[in-house]
């Protein structure tokens, strides 16, 4: 209602804060609250901010920051790991969903071109939503997370081609092979130049750049926004430009500092993006388009995930990987809204189709928020039914893991530091698994392999290759978790050395009875001394078996003497 942008934005943020509070109280995803805020402040309700261009600008800043930070965390080996699979799944999914959407459009009376626009719009998934949720869950580096990001990159490339088609249609031009070739040439050329600058030139000046925190902050924003704007200017999406901008700097030593400084800024502007999504809601002609709306939503939340799941499983991957990847992609993309609005501006797409895509986007984004956040829960429910996807020989997913870890450490704060120093001395590949986000941030800052996750998550244990690990150490103080780990590892990998933590004699005796190779007890021997023993043992379990009985006898005698006194 107000023309004052600052006042309007202030009101919007206050409403968003209140909605976020409500979402927290009822334990719902905060994104839902932000979208509801957009509906409240948009034309559908109170129309607080009349100038959509202002909030769109803020949204683009949030998009660029999110994708830039994600790019900073990408390892160059990700493309090699998931490139072929992502390319296959991305192309197959876009093609089949586009055909299905085209068929639905023809069924409800749309003409040939309108139906094509509908199908293509339904085929793309939301880069922003998916990466935000994966980042929040700390699962962008899990196997399914890497595959999902790869598919999104493929979709963004296909989206750039679709945008070229739409633009040419608006100017009554024909899309020629030469136009597509020129677009590809520009994209590849700038990407190669970008990577050369990021890997060859900027590293020579990294000390100068990072010597002043204010300059580092400004450099990061300038690089990220500049590259994003450049890619948008040559015909690609803002998202892929920002992602590549971060990816080009991923190997630099000051990446962690850049990420930590940009994240608060990202969080604010990305909230505005979700509010902007909600503000686009319009129910004009809702009743007459109900059939088209329902069919469109079903294509996105049912057919699209099924196509992704079947394609990944046919490529030889497990039902876990295929299900979680598919669950991440069941929404309409923010790019679809841009595409359909361009079609409307060109006189091809009618207003009712624009409204259908907008409502479909809001509904599917809301549903996919739950699907991604609770994918592990849904997988456990459907695990038995999904077994049909694993027909024949299943490819070992761990081939896709960046490292085959010889050493695995669960828990860092209670003595884990000593084990990390030991692992580095042994010069073996290792990974730290911890449920504390601060620990993962610290590991990233030290450029150490780490995964955010629960030690009782069987899927995570499978992905890090616990069946092949030579040494597994748990400094977790929860005895139930250690009991679970000892039982599982002795079942899957009986040759592995398993070292766990115990608080008292009863726990230590139980863990030894279950097959633990060694139990660290605070009053008996610290992680420093066991480290020396590990080095002398040459990672041979037989050496631990020789020493095990001595330790068991000691703790039993020590306990009986303590009890008598």
Average pLDDT value over all residues in the chain = 81
The pLDDT score that the predictor gives to residue 128 is 82
Q: Is the pLDDT of residue 260 over 70?
A: yes
Which residue has 């948008």 as its token pair? 232
User: What gap in Å lies between CA 456 and CA 489, rounded to an integer?
Assistant: 12
The pLDDT score that the predictor gives to residue 213 is 82
CATH fold for the domain made of 403-564: Rossmann fold (3.40.50)
Within 211-254, residue ranges assigned H as helices are: 213-233, 238-248
* Local confidence band at 565 (pLDDT 50, 70, 90 cut-offs): very low
For the ranges 99-113, 421-435, 459-473, 513-527, the one whose mean pLDDT is highest: 99-113
Q: Where in the chain is the domain with CATH 3.40.50.720?
A: 403-564
Read off the pLDDT of each residue in 218-243 and give the average, rounded to a whole number: 86
pLDDT tens per residue, range 206-220: 788 888 888 988 999
User: What gap in Å lies between CA 554 and CA 564, rounded to an integer?
Assistant: 15
8 Å CB contact between 118 and 111: no
Sheet holding 497-501, edge to edge: 450-452, 430-434, 407-410, 471-474, 497-501, 518-520
User: What gap in Å lies between CA 495 and CA 513, rounded to an integer?
Assistant: 16
User: What gap in Å lies between CA 100 and CA 304, rounded to an integer?
Assistant: 10
Domain 51-389 has CATH 3.90.1580.10: no
User: What gap in Å lies between CA 302 and CA 346, rounded to an integer?
Assistant: 31
Structure tokens at 444: 């990233």
Q: Where in the chain is the domain with CATH 1.20.1530.20?
A: 51-389
Q: Is the pLDDT of residue 21 over 90?
A: yes
Q: Rg (Cα) of the chain, in Å, rounded? A: 27
Structure tokens at 301: 């939340």
pLDDT tens per residue, range 543-558: 666 666 666 666 666 6
8 Å CB contact between 321 and 144: yes
Q: Is the pLDDT of residue 441 over 80?
A: no
Read off the pLDDT of each residue in 44-50 and give the average, rounded to a whole number: 73
pLDDT tens per residue, range 122-179: 999 988 889 888 888 878 777 788 889 889 888 887 887 777 666 555 444 555 567 6
Q: Is the pLDDT of residue 56 over 60?
A: yes
Half-sphere exposure for 513 (CA within 13 Å, toward CB): 7
Kindly report the three-state secondary structure assignment for every residue of 94-151.
HHHHHHHHHHHHHHCCCCHHHHHHHHHHHHCCCHHHHHHHHHHCCCCCCHHHHHHHHH
Higher pLDDT, 528 or 182: 182
Q: In 284-417, at which residue ranges do the beta strands (DSSP E only) sit?
A: 407-410
**SS3 state at 452:** strand
User: What gap in Å lies between CA 280 and CA 288, rounded to an integer?
Assistant: 19
Q: Which residues, listed in sequence order, are joined to residue 49 by a DSSP beta bridge?
A: 2
The closest of 484, 487, 483, 538 to 508, measured between CA atoms, is 483
The pLDDT score that the predictor gives to residue 100 is 96
CB under 8 Å to 399, separation ≥6 — which residues? none
The closest of 337, 5, 70 to 228, measured between CA atoms, is 70
Poorest-confidence range of 40-49, 243-252, 495-504, 519-528? 519-528
The pLDDT score that the predictor gives to residue 424 is 84
The pLDDT score that the predictor gives to residue 69 is 84
The pLDDT score that the predictor gives to residue 426 is 83
* Local confidence band at 523 (pLDDT 50, 70, 90 cut-offs): low
């Amino acid at each position: 209602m107000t023309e004052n942008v600052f006042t309007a934005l202030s009101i919007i943020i206050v409403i968003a804060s209140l909605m976020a509070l409500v979402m927290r109280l009822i334990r719902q995803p905060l994104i839902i609250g932000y979208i509801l805020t957009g509906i409240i402040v948009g034309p559908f309700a109170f129309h607080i901010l009349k100038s959509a261009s202002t909030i769109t600008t803020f949204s683009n800043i949030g998009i660029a920051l999110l994708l830039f930070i994600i790019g900073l965390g990408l390892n160059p080996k990700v493309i090699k790991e998931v490139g072929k699979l992502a390319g296959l799944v991305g192309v197959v999914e876009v093609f089949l969903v586009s055909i299905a959407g085209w068929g639905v459009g023809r069924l409800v009376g749309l003409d040939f071109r309108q139906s094509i626009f509908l199908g293509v719009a339904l085929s793309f998934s939301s880069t922003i939503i998916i990466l935000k949720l994966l980042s929040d869950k700390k699962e962008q580096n899990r196997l399914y997370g890497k595959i999902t990001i790869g598919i999104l990159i493929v979709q963004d490339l296909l989206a750039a081609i679709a945008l070229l088609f739409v633009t040419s249609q608006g100017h009554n031009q024909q899309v020629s092979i030469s136009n597509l070739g020129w677009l590809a040439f520009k994209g590849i050329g700038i990407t190669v130049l970008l990577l050369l600058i990021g890997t060859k030139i900027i590293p020579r000046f990294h000390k100068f750049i990072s010597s002043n925190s204010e300059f580092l902050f400004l450099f990061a924003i300038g690089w990220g926004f500049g590259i994003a704007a450049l890619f948008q200017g040559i015909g690609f999406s803002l998202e892929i430009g920002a992602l590549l901008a971060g990816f080009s700097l991923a190997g630099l030593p000051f990446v962690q500092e850049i990420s930590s400084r940009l994240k608060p800024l990202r969080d604010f502007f990305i909230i505005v993006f979700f509010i902007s999504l909600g503000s686009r809601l319009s129910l004009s002609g809702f009743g007459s388009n109900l059939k088209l709306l329902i069919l469109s939503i079903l294509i996105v939340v049912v057919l699209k995930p099924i196509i992704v799941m079947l394609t990944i499983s046919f490529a030889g991957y497990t039902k876990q990987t295929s299900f979680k990847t598919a669950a991440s992609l069941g929404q309409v993309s923010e790019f679809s809204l841009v595409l359909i609005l361009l079609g409307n501006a060109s006189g091809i797409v009618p207003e009712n189709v624009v409204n259908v895509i907008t409502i479909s986007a809001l509904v599917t984004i809301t549903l996919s928020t739950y699907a991604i956040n609770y994918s592990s829960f849904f997988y456990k429910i459907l695990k038995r039914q999904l077994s049909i996807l694993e027909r024949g020989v299943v490819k070992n997913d761990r081939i896709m893991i960046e490292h085959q870890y010889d050493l695995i450490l669960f828990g860092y704060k209670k003595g884990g530091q000593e084990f990390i120093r030991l692992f580095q001395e042994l010069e073996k590949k290792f990974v730290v698994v911890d449920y504390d986000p601060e620990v993962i941030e610290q590991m990233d800052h030290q450029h150490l392999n780490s995964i955010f996750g629960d030690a009782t998550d069987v899927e995570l244990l499978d992905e890090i290759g616990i069946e092949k690990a030579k040494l597994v150490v748990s400094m977790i103080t929860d005895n139930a978790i250690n009991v679970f780990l000892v039982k599982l590892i002795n079942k899957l990998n009986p040759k592995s050395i398993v070292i766990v933590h115990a608080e008292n004699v009863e726990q230590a005796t139980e863990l030894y009875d279950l097959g633990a190779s060694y139990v660290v007890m605070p009053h008996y021997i610290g992680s420093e001394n066991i480290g020396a023993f590990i080095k002398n043992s040459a990672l041979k379990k037989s050496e631990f078996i020789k020493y095990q009985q001595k330790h068991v006898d000691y703790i039993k005698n020590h306990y009986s003497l303590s009890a008598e006194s």
